[in-house]
Structure 1
Amino acid sequence: MDNISFQYPVWYLFLCFALGGLFAGILYYRSTAFRSQSSTLNTLLGLLRFAAVSLIAILLLTPLLRRVVREVKNPIILIAQDQSESVGAALGAQKAAYLSSLNALQAELEGEYEVKTYGFGSEVREGIDSAFTDKQSNIAEALSSLYDLYSGQNLGAVVLASDGIYNEGSNPLYANAALDAPLFSIPLGDTTAQRDLLVKRVFHNRIVYLGDKFSIQVDLAGDNAAGSNSRVNVYKIVNGKASLLQQEAVTIDQNNWFETREFILDADQAGVQRFRITLGEIPEEATLVNNSKDIFIDVLDARQKILVLGNAPHPDLTAFRQALSNNQNYQVTTATVDNLEESPSEFDFIILHNLPSRSKAATSVLNAIASQQIPHLFVVGNQTDLPQFNQAQRVLSIQRRGSSTNQVQAYFKPGFNLFQLSEDLKEQLPGYTPLTAVFGDYNIESSASALLYQRIGKVETDYPLLVLGEGSGTKVGVLGGEGVWRWRLFDYLQNQDHERFNELIGKIVQYLSLKEDKRRFRISLSKNIFDENEPVYFDAELYNQSFELVNDPDASLTVKDAAGKEYNFTFNKAGNAYRLNAGILPVGNYQFTGSVFFGGERLTYDGQFSIQPIQLEQYETTADHNTMRLLSEQYGGAVYSPESISEIAAAIRSRDTVKPVIYETAQTQPIINFKWLFAILLLLLASEWALRRYFGSY
């Protein structure tokens, strides 16, 4: 229904007509211009002018046309098909016939309903294909996604076809999907438990450290295999070849068998390592696909070698070693300068206690530190040769005054921001036993920061006690007092543990030993181990000599698998950096090399990653039709076998709730927007002008 409304009172229309009559009367009432013509000409011209002026005046009142549009919306029928590997395996040779029945159902419904089809497994997507290659089943996500897409619309019914097996997401019976429509389920697969052994789950850390031992826990299961014997084997896969690490016999003593075994393995090689756990075959076993499972573990060679080097035996050396040995990433060696057997260049961090001393200059150690840029910490004591010490670093200068020492306690000043310490440590440390410090003048370089200051008796001085900084591209720390072993004992006396002392020493060493990546071309991955259905993304950064991000030249990447096959890519430029989607790669270990030619030199970056298989669909082979039945009951639907798919259309038609919905929409728009009105107005004025011209008025 259409109607016209005005933004002014309706009686304004009479003014519009009066205005039109006034214009027509002035021009044509008693006009002598057309005396020689018929008297009707004046009348016709007056009517044209009256109509044109009246129409213009009416349009100035901005009349609105209100139109009610009715739309009939047919019910929406959703057909959701589980496309996981387990469903494909269950359909087998009947797959083509089943899909044909499903297509026939869709064609029959499309005559009177709006039919939408979706496939789900690892994700929900439009359309149903015949691949059935999804590695996961997430029925709850499928229901939630359909609810999000069609809530508030005229949803008539949902047809859900699945084997009821879900290995991702929550139980679909508790999915947050308030579908306001009946759900008709089509249970697929076989509910009969077959004779089968399987490696159900493997629990393990994704990251371990080189040289450590690590544990893997294996859940083993069996169906209808009572009285059988098998073996569980653990292999390490290197370049596609399996080497046996451990083997244990297993006895299946019941049909519904479950057992957990634990294996302790050695992390003896850095990088991503691939392991395979297998269960030996038993007679008449239904499938062997689920008898093995591969896992990938990233073995990090992140352990740092730390040298605690003293001028002479001292309890401080043991205190440092005990505090640092608690961290599994540190390999701590304690020695004096006289009995040091390893080269200082082999260490990642060095603590120098009372070195250089007046009797032992430790020149070779200091030279190795300088040439290899090894981060280090000086512990200044009464035996330290201060002139040599001042020359060896540029963070703190100490000028001795006399030969006496001070007993100093530590206190904090605000402003230190290199790292954070716990409030417990900040509160207790000022009360710890004093250290022995050199009596003299202390001057901090501008590039250094003081964490602790000296308190002598009750006087808080400006003399620093612990200073951290950087000199010649190497991080350096100075502890201006010896006797930290007293702090460790006092910590235990107060708290019955060494947590606060270990925290202080650990934070100092962690900050000083942290290595900054100063390479000008870098490539990063979000992780080192990807699932086989997951695309691999690379991010790269290129820096100029001033360490500013640039991406002017093209950067390339070569990925090589364990067999030597190469995949070549070119990075895309994104902002000031680079990004690359290498897509989905086959299962295995990979090495990559990125390169870019910039500033007359070729910069490269090497790394590695692994693709692990997703084997979830292989470990649950018995269909769960009970879940499908309960879903239909929950949403007021019914269960239909694959052979009775054709009956679903009649069941949907019989539902009183599956009916079309009429939507009415009111549309309002100004009449002045209609172009045909402009055409009428132009026609009126043009006709009047043409007649006057023809009969000689102009």
Structure 2
Amino acid sequence: MQTETILLIIAAGIIALIIALYQYLYRAKNRKKKLLFFAFLRFLSVFSLLVLLINPTFKQNIYFEEKPALVVAVDNSSSIKYLKKDKEIKQFVNEISLHKELNNRFNVVYYSFSDKLKDSLHFSFDQKQTNISKALDELNQVYKNTIAPTLLLTDGNQTYGTDYQFSTKGYKQVVYPVISGDTIAVEDTRIQQLNVNRYAYLKNKFPIETILTYSGNQDITRLFQIKSGNSTIFSQPISFSKENNSNVVNFTLPANRVGVNQYVAILSPLDNEKNTINNSKTFAVEVIDQKTNVLLISDMVHPDLGAIKKSIESNERRSITISKPSENKDFNDYQLIILYQPNTRYKKVYEKLNLEKKNYLTIIGSKTDWVFLNTIQNKYTQEITRQTEYYVPRFNNNYAAFLQDDIGFTSYPPLIGNFGELKIHANHDPLLYRTIGTIHTEDALLATIEQNGIREAVLFGEGIWRWRAQNYINTQTFKDFDEFFGKLVQYLASNKRKSRLNTISESFYYGNASIVIKAEYFTKNYEFDKRGSLKIIIKNKETKATQTIPMLLKNNSYEVDISNLGAGDYEYTVAVSGEHITRSGSFAILEYDVEQQFLNADVTKLQQVATNTSGKSYFLNQKEALIKELIENQRYQTIQKSKENVVSLIDWKYLLLIVLLLLTIEWFARKYNGLI
């Protein structure tokens, strides 16, 4: 107990004594001995009440021992099974779990990983992707404040993500890679990489780049072909040697048929080749007969223009032209017009837009001439203050014009807009609201307007380039922002009428990708309906097999994950229970399992991980040496820790009960003796 608390208790006793003596002895006319009893009761009750207010505490130290954690992370991807190491890994983990000395020294925790980290063991070895870097990063976050050596049971073959041999340089825990896979080099030819655009335009040629590799010591020549169905449309002999063990083949193919065109790249294997799966690769190109052309009109130079251009052109199906308002462009050549910070020079542009009834996007900022804008159109007006304000975006979960998820808009930097009252006179659908400081307003920051068959969107702020940069800071990619802006462009460039049921899917998917089909369902007032019961019927065009799957509500859409489907051509129908509304579509899944492209474990990278983290690499058959290292290593000691708890000297409930009891006794005693 602290000295200050003791002094307070002494002071409380003195005060209680003074109050009791003053009331029953000093002020009493008849100082009978019986009054000493009343004074004693009053002293106890006042003293107890003051102690209750002081609430004296003392510190209590609790000592306990904390064992270091031993993290066992197991690769659950299909490459483990393909390399025939699945049974050995199961046996290895089982022996670790039964080793008494190891479990006495460590708190053993098990994880499995593929493209995601899971805090449990699941030995299916059927996952189609591996991201070792992500798994280690997440483990690093979980155990950043503890001692937790990590056993990494993997073949080291990562299919996507940051290169883990470099990212582990900042890993705080010691990693012991347990190498699972063959290490003996064998002769092998393979298609290392094939690069092709997803889209091509009718009657054009699309480029293909293929990287072919060879591991071996002989001089060989193999035939490289591209086939479409039973027809060979490209063929070239490729020579390899020990020194010249890779070739880059560049060529073009014609785009003669609209739709999804599937191809197979084949590199003829060696006679004794062990893995022939990596000698072929299926790919597809969607041939389209038109391109979305966007015209951006600006009277100034601004970073927003570059961000908009890069975002739009991130999709090969779109192109953008930047011009000044004084240039006479034929609007019929473009599906969408973007007006950046309009002023009086845009008068003819607005006249042309109204005459030709074109859809357009208006971006407003600090240089916008609101006197002109308030008079040239009648959909919205802004109070003229000549001052600016910073507006932070806030996503509208009930936005219904097109399907859009919240990509973390509230974390984006504020846009610079105009200060003053904004009024939107037309029927509009706000996608983003304005937040000023900590004040959530219902004023639109980004809204879409559909009136008389013309679609318009208005962004009431400049600085959108910062949003694209922030998206890269948050995710190390521009994908989320580019998809958001692309959906806005797609909506504005289309004149399709609203539908109560819309579906979103790709025309084709690769077999190793996540396959998700989304749908949006609206009420008769075109408000998103979360009460709908949607199902999807998927039919394999070749086998005619069908399956019906309910679609799950997620945020502002319904979706279904069908990643378990095999390669083939499919058609689907989405239906709403109780409504005569359906939407149909089709897609193709291309045969490709990236996990089966590997022949050996990547020993070099795993050994580098061990070096980066001051650990040591082992093979599956070196279990005893690994266990001995863990048990004898002095870095992993049980630590005695103490925890300081602040405990009340007396429970306030009991003290309050004592006060009430003393006051009750005193009252009855005074009543009995005629003092009341």
**TM-score normalised over the length of structure 1:** 0.61
CA pair 413-176 structure 1, distance change in 2 beyond 3 A: farther
Q: Among residues 82, 86, 97, which one is paired with 2:91 in the alignment?
A: 97
Mapping 1:298-313, distance limit 5 Å: 298-302=286-290
Aligned counterparts of 1:446 and 1:56: Cα–Cα separation in 2 = 74
Aligned counterparts of 1:61 and 1:93: Cα–Cα separation in 2 = 66
**Aligned amino acid, residue 634 of structure 1:** N
Does residue 289 in structure 1 map to residue 277 in structure 2? yes
Does residue 625 in structure 1 map to residue 603 in structure 2? yes
Name 2:120's counterpart in structure 1.
Answer: 127
Aligned counterparts of 2:626 and 2:288: Cα–Cα separation in 1 = 57
Name 2:635's counterpart in structure 1.
Answer: 657
1:212-260 deviation per Cα after TM superposition (whole angstroms, max 9, x unaligned): 33232222223237355543332335xxxx6554444445444873223
Q: Is the 8 A contact 2:573 2:582 kept in 1?
A: yes
Name 1:637's counterpart in structure 2.
Answer: 615
Compute the displacement of 1:175 (Å). 0.3
Compute the displacement of 1:637 (Å). 1.9
Q: Is the 8 A contact 1:20 1:52 kept in 2?
A: no
CA pair 23-641 structure 1, distance change in 2 beyond 3 A: farther
CA pair 250-602 structure 1, distance change in 2 beyond 3 A: same
More displaced stretch, 564-573 vs 115-124: 564-573
Q: Secondary structure at the match of 2:627?
A: helix
Name 2:182's counterpart in structure 1.
Answer: 190
Q: Among residues 51, 56, 66, which one is paired with 2:44 in the alignment?
A: 51
Aligned counterparts of 1:557 and 1:182: Cα–Cα separation in 2 = 48
Does residue 137 in structure 1 map to residue 139 in structure 2? no
Mapping 1:327-476, distance limit 5 Å: 413=347, 416=350, 419=360
**Aligned amino acid, residue 629 of structure 2:** A
Compute the displacement of 1:176 (Å). 5.4
Mapping 1:496-507, distance limit 5 Å: none
CA pair 98-518 structure 1, distance change in 2 beyond 3 A: same
CA pair 304-170 structure 1, distance change in 2 beyond 3 A: closer
1:128-160 deviation per Cα after TM superposition (whole angstroms, max 9, x unaligned): 332222323333222222112211x22242222
1:405-450 deviation per Cα after TM superposition (whole angstroms, max 9, x unaligned): xxxxx9753873865899xxxxxxxxxxxxxxxxxxxxxx9999xx
Name 2:260's counterpart in structure 1.
Answer: 272
Q: Secondary structure at the match of 1:111?
A: helix
Name 1:398's counterpart in structure 2.
Answer: none
Name 1:72's counterpart in structure 2.
Answer: 65
Compute the displacement of 1:290 (Å). 1.8
Does residue 209 in structure 1 map to residue 201 in structure 2? yes
Compute the displacement of 1:177 (Å). 5.4
Aligned counterparts of 1:608 and 1:47: Cα–Cα separation in 2 = 92
Compute the displacement of 1:197 (Å). 2.4
CA pair 645-257 structure 1, distance change in 2 beyond 3 A: same
1:631-666 deviation per Cα after TM superposition (whole angstroms, max 9, x unaligned): 222222223332222333332333333223344444
Q: Among residues 551, 554, 568, which one is paired with 1:588 in the alignment?
A: 568
Compute the displacement of 1:517 (Å). 1.4
Aligned counterparts of 1:108 and 1:243: Cα–Cα separation in 2 = 64
Q: Is the 8 A contact 2:275 2:599 kept in 1?
A: no
Q: Is the 8 A contact 2:140 2:173 kept in 1?
A: no
Name 1:516's counterpart in structure 2.
Answer: 495
CA pair 7-276 structure 1, distance change in 2 beyond 3 A: farther
Q: Among residues 511, 514, 521, which one is paired with 1:534 in the alignment?
A: 514
1:320-374 deviation per Cα after TM superposition (whole angstroms, max 9, x unaligned): xxxxxxxx999xxxxxxxxxxxxxxxxxxxxxx9xxxxxxxxxxxxxxxxxxxxx
Does residue 616 in structure 1 map to residue 604 in structure 2? no
Aligned counterparts of 2:377 and 2:39: Cα–Cα separation in 1 = 98
Give the greater-gyration-radius structure (CA).
Answer: 1
Q: Structure 1 stretches of 5 or more lacking a match?
A: 34-41, 306-327, 331-352, 354-374, 378-409, 423-444, 449-469, 476-509
Compute the displacement of 1:172 (Å). 2.0
Compute the displacement of 1:697 (Å). 11
**Aligned amino acid, residue 109 of structure 1:** L
Name 1:458's counterpart in structure 2.
Answer: none
Compute the displacement of 1:65 (Å). 4.0
Q: Secondary structure at the match of 2:126?
A: coil
CA pair 280-157 structure 1, distance change in 2 beyond 3 A: same
Mapping 1:165-180, distance limit 5 Å: 165-175=157-167, 178-180=170-172
**Aligned amino acid, residue 55 of structure 1:** S
CA pair 72-29 structure 1, distance change in 2 beyond 3 A: farther
CA pair 474-80 structure 1, distance change in 2 beyond 3 A: closer
Q: Secondary structure at the match of 2:94?
A: helix
Aligned counterparts of 2:332 and 2:161: Cα–Cα separation in 1 = 50
More displaced stretch, 121-130 vs 607-616: 607-616
Q: Is the 8 A contact 2:97 2:103 kept in 1?
A: no
Q: Is the 8 A contact 1:156 1:657 kept in 2?
A: no
Compute the displacement of 1:173 (Å). 2.6
Name 1:13's counterpart in structure 2.
Answer: 12
Aligned counterparts of 2:78 and 2:317: Cα–Cα separation in 1 = 42
Aligned counterparts of 2:260 and 2:6: Cα–Cα separation in 1 = 76
Aligned counterparts of 1:573 and 1:197: Cα–Cα separation in 2 = 46
Q: CA RMSD in A?
A: 4.7
Q: Is the 8 A contact 1:119 1:127 kept in 2?
A: yes
Aligned counterparts of 2:64 and 2:349: Cα–Cα separation in 1 = 70
Q: Is the 8 A contact 2:518 2:558 kept in 1?
A: yes
Aligned counterparts of 2:6 and 2:222: Cα–Cα separation in 1 = 90
CA pair 286-552 structure 1, distance change in 2 beyond 3 A: closer
Q: Is the 8 A contact 1:158 1:183 kept in 2?
A: yes
Q: Structure 2 stretches of 5 or more lacking a match?
A: 294-315, 319-329, 334-343, 354-358, 364-375, 380-449, 456-488
| Equivalent pairs, count | 505
Compute the displacement of 1:16 (Å). 4.2
Q: Secondary structure at the match of 2:347?
A: coil
Aligned counterparts of 1:157 and 1:109: Cα–Cα separation in 2 = 13
**Aligned amino acid, residue 289 of structure 1:** I
